[in-house]
Amino acid sequence: MESLTSTISKMSLDKPAGGAGHETSDDEGSVSSSKSLSSYTNKELIAYCKANGIKGYSGKKKEEILALIDSKPAETKEPVVEEDTYTEEILKARFNQHKTYVEETIKIRDSIGLSIRLPVIPEDITENMVKHILHNLSGEFQDKTSMWTKSFKSKQKITGDLVSKKENVQECKCFSSDGPISFGPTENWDVIYFLDAREWLEDKFVLWRVPLSNTAPEWKSTVLNKSKNESFESQSAQGRRPRINWDALYPQIAKHATKVFDGSFIDIFASK
């Protein structure tokens, strides 16, 4: 099992007793952490600072962040060991349970001729479907480190639906109709996945990967209401929940979107 801090955005780093982020040597004393962190990108250095309680990195360049880490060594913390307990077996059981309920509801609805609203697929099912798809893909998009954050038992705060060493925060959005997809105005992510489940009762799922963070200019400028000239950024700034359906969203992000899965529910658990 891995610590939660090592689960997020390549933040794993050996931290001996001399202090988090610093190496020690019997002959030379303390060795600068920048030597082991110099290969990190700005984004990875910021993630490291967040994980180790180092503040003051905002707006700084890479060299300045490295100097900050040297001048303000992170507080030594006991690693928080986390395990994703939402297994393949649990996902299969939950999916079959929900599908049976919906199918029985449809039978009742059709038999009495009344309008009964069908429930959406619960997020624990859809988010873990995405997780298991990523686990079982082959090639560049495979991510066996992806974990479901809601299965973590500690109280350590972490945002996002999934976290991974490879992609950091992974947001998951599932849509089973042509209705709008809803976003929280303060949601943060590094990569977002869209699970098209509009034909889920026919056992068909499509997963799209969009490597745009919520702060990426291409994402913030997404037009949600053309007549009012409202973008994702402007609606979020107003504290509103941005909403847009897939058919309106996809053309705006198509050049960034990659279809990584197209298959049945059982296909999720087979290597692709």
d(CA 219, CA 240): 16
- Regarding whether 157 and 58 lie in a shared domain, the answer is no
- Examine residue 99 and state whether it is found in any structural domain, yes or no: no
pLDDT at position 68 over 80:
yes
- Examine residue 93 and state whether it is found in any structural domain, yes or no: no
The domain total for the chain is 2
Q: Specify the pLDDT at position 27.
A: 35
- Examine residue 231 and state whether it is found in any structural domain, yes or no: yes
pLDDT at position 233 over 60:
yes
- Regarding whether 72 and 192 lie in a shared domain, the answer is no
- Regarding whether 26 and 136 lie in a shared domain, the answer is no
Burial-class residue 95 by CB neighbours within 10 Å (0-12, 13-18, 19+).
Answer: buried
- Examine residue 94 and state whether it is found in any structural domain, yes or no: no
- Regarding whether 24 and 144 lie in a shared domain, the answer is no
- Examine residue 89 and state whether it is found in any structural domain, yes or no: no
pLDDT at position 17 over 50:
no
- Regarding whether 66 and 175 lie in a shared domain, the answer is no
Confidence band for 250, pLDDT divided at 50, 70 and 90? very high
Q: Which residue has the higher pLDDT, 55 or 217?
A: 217
Of 54, 82, 110, the position where a domain reaches its end is 82
- Regarding whether 258 and 127 lie in a shared domain, the answer is yes
Of 64, 82, 100, the position where a domain reaches its end is 82
- Examine residue 238 and state whether it is found in any structural domain, yes or no: yes
Mean per-residue pLDDT, 124-144: 96
Q: Specify the pLDDT at position 156.
A: 59
Domain of 55 in residue numbering reads as 2-82
- Regarding whether 35 and 159 lie in a shared domain, the answer is no
Residue with structure tokens 């009742």? 108
- Examine residue 90 and state whether it is found in any structural domain, yes or no: no
- Regarding whether 265 and 139 lie in a shared domain, the answer is yes
Distances in Å between the Cα of 206 and the Cα atoms of 53, 71, 132 are 39, 48, 13
CB 68, CB 54: distance < 8 Å: yes
- Regarding whether 180 and 127 lie in a shared domain, the answer is yes
Q: Specify the pLDDT at position 81.
A: 53
Report the percentage of the chain scoring pLDDT > 90.
59
- Regarding whether 134 and 75 lie in a shared domain, the answer is no
- Regarding whether 218 and 131 lie in a shared domain, the answer is yes
- Regarding whether 142 and 60 lie in a shared domain, the answer is no
pLDDT at position 26 over 50:
no
- Examine residue 101 and state whether it is found in any structural domain, yes or no: no
